Structure 1
Amino acid sequence: MFLWLAMIAVLIFLVASPMVRLVVSSFQEADTGRLTLANYVDAYGSLRHLQALFNSFELGIGVALLSGVFGVPIAWAISRTDMPAKSLVRLMVFGAFITPPYLGAISSILLAGPNSGWLNKAWMALSGADHGIVNVYSMTGLIVVVAAASFPYVFVFTNSALDLVSSEMEDAANILGAGTLRTTFGVTLPLVLPAIVGSLIVSFLEAIALFGAPAMIGLPARFQVVSTQLWQFFEYPVRVEEAAAYSIPLLLITILMFWLKRSLVGRKGYTAVTGTGGERRQIHLGAWAPGAG
């Protein structure tokens, strides 16, 4: 009983207290502490601030979708096929997982910086062009950079879920005439849909909360996201209450994302009742395997 109460107290101190303080500060005047809506008027009365909020939505959605495109096929291939060099692929994915996003931003700038990145310099040397072909200083470049650091979330969630699902229902689908592609999209992936949706939500929230990569790529490209805009609220003169009001959408978005996950998958019975999990039959890639001749 004491341990249970202690855990609740710790959670209230670490999670609930800062959130309550954030909400209360967003409605307070800086000097008097009186309740006011002026902080919200100042925070959202600027077109620049609203554009930064929209940019964060665009970044989060783009990163979540691209992370799914990267992570789900790799997770499926490792868990469900006889793809060679699985250990190496898994190691490379985890390497991306432990690499800080701002280091990924630095490497991407060195690789795809306009006219000075290695890719652009190689292109100009080979083609004789006077400008490069890729530019990391853009929203598209930022989405790719952040997704390269976030897709391991999708991989880990999806791969772990796939490893717990046996091949019995996939075998049943094949017996009934379904091919590999139809079985994958009609049986395998729906079974792990909660894990996929959860990982996409984590990738989205990770993207909109990042500061380092958006600051290194977005600011030189002359566009803001919520995290970089919040940083500017703490330049002189410091506007803590306005920053609190501006950050409330991040809190609301987090709540909305988890509600959306529950609404999408909470009522669906994507559950395989197979006891210990059963065996997983691997798909033979044959000529599709890397190095197959």
Structure 2
Amino acid sequence: MTSLSPALPLWRRVGYPLRQHWHRLRYQGQQLRQNPTSLLGLGLLLLFGYFIAVPVVSLLLDGVQVQFGDERRLGADTGAWTWHYLERTLFSAVAQSQFWTPLGHTLRIALWVVLLCLLVGGLLAWLLTRSDLPARRWLATALIVPYMLPAWTFAMAWLALFRNRSIGGQPGWLETLGVQPPDWLAYGELPITLILALNYIPFVILLLGNALRRLDAQLEDSARILGAGGLTIALRILLPLLLPALLSACLLIFAKVLGEFGVSYVLGLPVNYNVLSTSLFRSIALRQTGSAAVLAGAIMLLGLLSLGLDALLLREARKFITVGGKGSLHRRHPLGRWRWPALGLAGLLFVVSVLLPLLVLLLSTLMRVPGDFSLANFTLDFWLGRDLPFVAERHGVLLSPNLWRAAWNTLWIVGTAAIAAGLLGLLTGYVVVRSPWRPLGLLLRQLTFFPYLVPGVAFAAAYLSLFAEPRGPLPALYGTVTLLILALIADEMPYASRAGLSAMLQLGKDPEEAAQMAGAGWWQRLIRVVIPIQKGALVSGMLLPFISGINGLSLFVILAVPSTDVLTTYALRLLDYNYPQAANAVVLLVCLMALVGTLLTQRLTHTNLAEGLGH
């Protein structure tokens, strides 16, 4: 840096640095006009900050501030600081039933789900990638179908089979056939655990299968040459190398189970079996805003801890790599006499997790009396009938205006949110990759991923807390479509932003630089160069939130009202009215939309969830 002599006049000693600073600011302004990526990033940061961070902070503050209606009881004004809700939720006479018992149920279910997923999913991942299992390519796709379907689909099928009349309503199939299922089999911890395990086993198959596929078989060959047995190879070589993938799968499944709502709602609430998410739902339904905030904070804290631990383990795993690549071998082990039993195990899992639930749901919509297989009992009334003797619906679902209104709401609410999320995700990816200000990109990445750490019920509670009342220029949004769209956009940003980021990392700067040399401005380069090149990623960034939104339940069950019903909440409403045939019909329509959407996504983006597992 050039130093100025003290002998120079004061105006020159002050003026020279000011002129330098002015020219620097002018140059930066010209650069910003030519490439306003950082300015766009700041705008996105403000947008996501308000619609992602602010609702969560607002919800957490509700747990330590006096809520409306509690002023007289607590002797303080609304908004004053208080420890009352923390003490009530964690240490009062109702704490056991409201927090500690649901917490115990949640943790026990999560641990059992993780264990079952590891045992079954780990075995199947090895069979698909490292053995001569017959029909590997078909099974690699078939076994991940449960991950494409809503988890509560299986809960509805379980209820159709094992429902008993201890809670009233129609009987299940087994009860009609003369078998009385006990409550512990029909409801509660056992079915919730089994159904969640079936839903997340494909997750382990995908993660562990990809890790196994990257391992070089020469490592195992070398160990055998040195005299190591199969058990030694598994424990001393394969397990240490696969441990990061195993732990990552465990922690991610654990985090997802913490906030799972639909299965526990269907199979837990009828017998008052609560987990943290359903306890939170009860608190919201009873307008106990402070206690709901504490419960939501506890769920978020557990989720943050598990996913933070996953990030730490992933960073540690990068210290250990194996030398592989194009020359690595993937030799398949012959199963011998276990070949057909292994195929039977994989086939049985597909039947139990896909075919049987969907078949049960379909047949239940065709039976007047559940479980009665006489020909006279079959009917199409629940699909196409008129003047039916049901309070919830007087016509079959396909003739019901409520169904078509819910279907239209689903398509246009979820579709609008998905389009917006896809565009915002691509812009986020562009800013993260192209912005010269690295802290801005890092902050955007973390902020857009944050909704993944917040369970859907808690995130919906956060939006309810913030937008149930007028906030500045925004009116009260509860009960409006606007609130659902805004919440869904924010909730789906982890998928959309990751799709946009992945696409932008693969796009070099050459196309934009060529357009700039031809005289195209920044906006023209974005519209005419970047977006057309990334149209596949843009479609993926829209379809992934669309599929997730169609399957979604926990967000809508709190924020939707009858006039804004979507298919998932409409199905639950029919179930609450004890009309399971119509509810199951709607669930089948949701499954069909989810499967078609997933296949369409794979076709348009030329991807396959099971790619490589069966090869």
The answer to whether the superposition gives a TM-score over 0.5 is: yes
Which whole-Å CA distance do the structure 2 matches of 1:142 and 1:271 have between them?
A: 38
Give the conservation status (yes or no) of the 8 Å contact 1:56–1:226.
yes
Q: Among residues 275, 281, 302, which one is paired with 1:231 in the alignment?
A: 281
Instruction: Give the superposition deviation at 1:68.
Output: 1.1
Alignment of structure 1 residues 110-259 onto 2, 5 Å? 110-113=160-163, 118=173, 131-132=180-181, 135-236=185-286, 238-259=287-308
Check 1:288–1:234 CA distance in 2 against 1; reply closer, same or farther (3 A cut): same
Q: Runs ≥4 in structure 1, deviation > 6 angstroms?
A: 119-122
Q: CA deviation at 1:55?
A: 0.9
Q: Is the 8 A contact 1:166 1:279 kept in 2?
A: yes
1:17 deviation in Å? 2.9
CA shift digits 1:239-290 (9 cap, x unpaired) = 2222011221111112221343356565464421224461211111111101
Q: 1:180 to 1:21 in 2, by over 3 A?
A: same
Q: In the alignment, does 2:87 pair up with 1:18?
A: no
Give the paired residue count.
285
- Kindly state the Cα deviation for residue 131 of structure 1 after the two structures are TM-superposed: 4.1
Kept in 2: contact 1:193–1:265 (CA 8 A): no
- Distance in 1 (CA, whole Å) between partners of 2:141 and 2:303 is 30
Residue of structure 2 equivalent to 1:86? 136
Residues 175, 121 of structure 1: alpha-carbon distance in 2 compared, 3 angstrom cutoff: farther
Is the contact made by 1:75 and 1:158 (CA closer than 8 Å) also made in structure 2? Answer: yes
Specify the SS of the correspondent of 2:271.
coil
Compute the TM-score of the two structures, normalised by the length of structure 2. Answer: 0.43
Aligned position for 2:12: none
Distance 1:191 1:261 in 2: 16
| Aligned partner letter, 2:290 | E
Name the structure 1 match of 2:83: 37
Scaled by the length of structure 1, the TM-score of the pair is: 0.86
Any stretches of 5+ residues in structure 1 without a counterpart?
125-129
Percent pairwise identity: 25
Shift of 1:110: 2.8
| Preserved contact between residue 130 and residue 332 of structure 2 (Cα < 8 Å) | yes
Between the aligned partners of 1:63 and 1:35, the Cα distance in structure 2 is: 39
Give me the whole-angstrom Cα distance separating, in 2, the residues matched to 1:183 and 1:196. 17
Q: Aligned letter for 1:28?
A: Q
User: Which amino acid in the other structure matches residue 69 of structure 1?
Assistant: L
C-alpha distance in structure 2 between counterparts of 1:68 and 1:23, whole Å: 34
> Which digits, 9 at most, give the CA deviation of each residue in 1:38-79, with x for residues without a partner?
111222222101211211111111111111112111111111
Contact 2:188 2:267 in 1 (8 A): yes
- The alignment partner of 2:270 has SS state of coil
1:168: Cα distance to partner? 1.9
CA deviation string 1:180-222 (max 9, x = no partner): 3432333123212111111111111211211111011112233
Partners of 1:81 and 1:27 in 2: CA distance: 56
Amino acid at match of 1:111: L
CA contact (8 A) 1:153 1:202 kept: no
Matches of 2:110 and 2:341, distance apart in 1: 36
Asked if 1 retains the 8 angstrom alpha-carbon contact of 2:252 and 2:306, the reply is no
Residues 232 and 158 of structure 1, relative CA distance in 2, 3 Å threshold: same
- Choose 1 or 2 for highest CA Rg: 2
For structure 2, the residue ranges without an aligned partner over 5 or more in a row are 1-36, 69-77, 166-170, 343-615
**Structure 2 CA distance for partners of 1:5 and 1:79, relative to 1, 3 Å:** farther
Q: Secondary structure at the match of 2:310?
A: helix
The equivalences for 1:263-282 within 5 A come to 266-267=315-316, 269-276=319-326, 278-282=328-332
Counterpart Cα distance in 2 of 1:117 and 1:277: 56
**Greater relative CO, 1 or 2 (CA 8 Å, sep 6+):** 1
Is 177-186 or 40-49 further displaced after alignment? Answer: 177-186
